[in-house]
């Protein structure tokens, strides 16, 4: 997969070149190219922003540098044959979630346009939407100062799903938010523990040291349900929510395994 990123803060994307993509690049899974938008701002001050039409606070990114930059990236000789998917991180975008990440793994080429200021002149998106697939995507209901952090999160979420990236692809199925059918499908992760068995007076739940795989499986499912009911009931259908609540009460486990917030939500079972 080829990934191009255009930003006025190209160094912001440098972490991508470290761990994650470092490995993926070595394995030839990803071909990452980072571009400085100002390379396409040709006036003495390399201006990329101007005041908003209609007035209002802040500045808007000018369309011309973006048009020249994206044309150059899209027409670059070393680019894959087909057109890229242009991803524009924006707080007003469609939610970026695991399903969207899985969709984007199917693209050969992604180009990320990272905006700053109050955003990019809308005509840039409108112009390219007539020529290729444009995805305006939001990382979530928090306001960031620009698209770089969102682009990095989106690139990590996509690249780690590429075939050959993770050692055992099965683990991806297990993950929460995955659209796979693993235990975690649709549920939040269950709590995890490792050695020592006792730490600062806190014990690893006995069931996990029992060696009884079915009891462990049941405990993990119960914990995943509890957390989901308590923290993300929106992830569950009303029916699943009702079931999870019943299940959570049926499979009574020592309250100590529940974090304080859950105790409150589950009405402090006992």
Q: Closer to ligand JD8 by CB, 11 or 118: give it.
A: 118
Please give the size of the binding site for ligand JD8, defined by CB under 6 A.
Answer: 18
CA distances 107 to 1, 83, 99, 170, Å, are 7, 10, 14, 22
Q: Is 50 in the site for ligand JD8 (CB under 6 A)?
A: no
Counting contacts by CB under 6 A, is residue 37 touching ligand JD8? no
- In this complex, which beta carbon is closest to ligand JD8, that of residue 62 or of residue 226? 62
DSSP string covering the chain, please? -EEEEEES-GGGGGGGGTHHHHHHHHTTS-EEEEEEGGGG--STT---EEPPTT--SS-EE-HHHHHHHHHHHHT-TTS-SSPPEEEEEEEEEEE--HHHHHHHTT-SEEEEE---TT-B-HHHHHHHHTTS-EEEEE--SS--SSSHHHHHHHHHHHHTTSTTSSS-THHHHHSTT-SS-STTTTSPPPP---S-SEETTEEPPGGGGS--HHHHHHHHHHHHHHHHHHH-GGGS-HHHHHHHHHHHHHS---GGGS-HHHHHHTT---
Check binding of 65 to ligand JD8 (CB under 6 A). no
In whole angstroms, the minimum distance from the beta carbon of 43 to ligand JD8 comes to: 22
Task: Answer yes or no whether residue 142 interacts with ligand JD8 by CB under 6 A.
Answer: yes
The CB-of-202 to ligand JD8 minimum distance in angstroms stands at 35
Residues 90-109, interacting with ligand JD8 (CB under 6 A): 90-91, 93
Q: Which is nearer to ligand JD8, 115 or 186 (CB)?
A: 115
- Pick the stretch among 30-38, 122-130, 133-141, 214-222 that binds ligand JD8 (CB under 6 A): 133-141
Residue placing its CB nearer to ligand JD8 in the complex, 126 or 212: 126
Among 69, 70, 124, 150, which residue sits at the site for ligand JD8 (rule: CB under 6 A)?
A: 150
Window 73-92: contact mask with ligand JD8 (x via CB under 6 A): ----------------xxx-
Nearest to 188 by CA among 222, 140, 139, 137: 222
Contact between 115 and ligand JD8 by CB under 6 A: the answer reads yes
Among 116, 135, 226, 227, binds ligand JD8 (CB under 6 A): 116
Using rule CB under 6 A, residue 186 touches ligand JD8? no
Q: Which spans of this chain sit near ligand JD8 (rule: CB under 6 A)?
A: 89-91, 93, 115-116, 118-119, 138-140, 142-147, 150
């Amino acid at each position: 997969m080829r990934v191009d990123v255009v930003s006025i803060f190209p160094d912001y994307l440098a972490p991508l070149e470290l761990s994650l993509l470092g490995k993926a690049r070595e394995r030839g899974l990803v071909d990452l190219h980072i571009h400085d938008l100002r390379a396409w701002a040709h006036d003495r001050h390399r201006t990329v922003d101007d005041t908003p039409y209609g007035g209002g606070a802040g500045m808007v990114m000018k369309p011309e540098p973006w048009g020249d930059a994206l044309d150059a990236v899209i027409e670059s000789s070393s680019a894959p044959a087909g057109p890229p998917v242009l991803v524009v991180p924006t707080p007003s975008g469609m939610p970026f979630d695991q399903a969207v990440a899985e969709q984007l793994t199917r693209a050969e080429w992604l180009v990320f346009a990272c905006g700053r200021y109050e955003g990019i002149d809308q005509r840039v998106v409108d112009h390219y939407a007539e020529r290729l697939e444009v995805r305006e995507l939001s990382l979530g209901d928090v306001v960031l100062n620009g698209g770089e952090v969102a682009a990095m999160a989106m690139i990590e979420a996509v690249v780690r799903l590429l075939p050959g990236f993770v050692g055992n692809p099965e683990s991806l199925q297990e993950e929460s938010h995955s659209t796979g059918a693993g235990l975690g499908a649709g549920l939040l992760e269950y709590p995890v523990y490792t050695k020592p068995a006792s730490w600062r007076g806190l014990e690893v739940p006995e069931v996990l040291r029992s060696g009884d795989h079915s009891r462990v499986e049941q405990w993990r499912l119960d914990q995943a349900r509890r957390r989901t009911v308590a923290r993300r009931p929106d992830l569950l259908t009303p029916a699943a929510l009702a079931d999870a609540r019943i299940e959570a009460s049926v499979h009574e486990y020592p309250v100590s395994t529940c974090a304080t917030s859950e105790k409150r939500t589950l009405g402090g079972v006992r």
